[in-house]
A and B are shown apart, each in its own frame.
Chain A
């Protein structure tokens, strides 16, 4: 637009138009800055949640794997595997969307992930209580994995939107508004120049007429 400045005809009308565009760009800039600030605050909070969610899920997975090993020692790996195959329910999750500012993020609601012993589906007699411990630990782990899924996707989407909004704020701040302002200055300067020329011409004409 700097080169466009020369293409602009230096008239009062153009000057007015430019002043309006600058005003608009500044207001747009202000709004985007509000959006950016709110999104950054949201992102910071989600990142806190994310780190907690990762720690929690990892700790629970670790505990669950340990219980599983213990169960395999007591019952034998094959029996554990058989019981696992028998214990499958097809857990229902309710995946939906919610909005943070303009950003779509997932929201996941589940019924009870944790079950009672009798709900687990494998026969009680041939299995040891060790298996129940393992199942309980994996249910707890699954609960935190689902939470992690939601929080991590949210953090990623927010981060992308923050980046995009920052880009737009910066381009208004560093490119668009300065360009409009220099175009405005250019017209003001040209108009003054023209006025001065006209003034002197008139003076000369007057003098010639006297």
Chain B
């Protein structure tokens, strides 16, 4: 399979008077349909890299191609459309809209497309809620759910538009080990069944070991990129 994301010689420098270089000349290819784990110390630049991979942040220099489109050449509207259709985000803090119910939150990426919610779409949203095991609480406001439920809702939301890529920044960072296991199993099964590419930041070595590939970031550089699954064979 080809590469869904390619980045070349990416540098990221924060600040104009006091400059802090967070990423140093990173080049990376992400294969379509793969499950990738990014690991590294705090402050190593993992989140910055993930945000750049997801087009949320701009690199200081270097280029990024997502789904064969060069990000720097896209207009704001095209970029918004790319995020809507191609990428799903799961953040460490769930960031559901507290004003809406769980199922409304799941439908939100579809509504942003500007199309009418048909019976078919509603069925898909319900199916996703069932898949993440939240059929019973789908009409609760986002704030009236547990942390694990909220994070699973966020995953269902990220899947709503059937994106090619899901980027997750420590999606289980605030959850107990039981919920963590459930959420990774869920992500893994979506990856296998739907062929969705996953890139997730994690601190949990056991989780990382289950990925197709581990990308280790040290001081803003890719130190090691290995394939634990292959090594195990």
Physical interaction between A and B: no
Please list the residues of chain B having a beta carbon within 8 angstroms of any beta carbon in chain A. Answer: none
Please list the residues of chain A having a beta carbon within 8 angstroms of any beta carbon in chain B. Answer: none
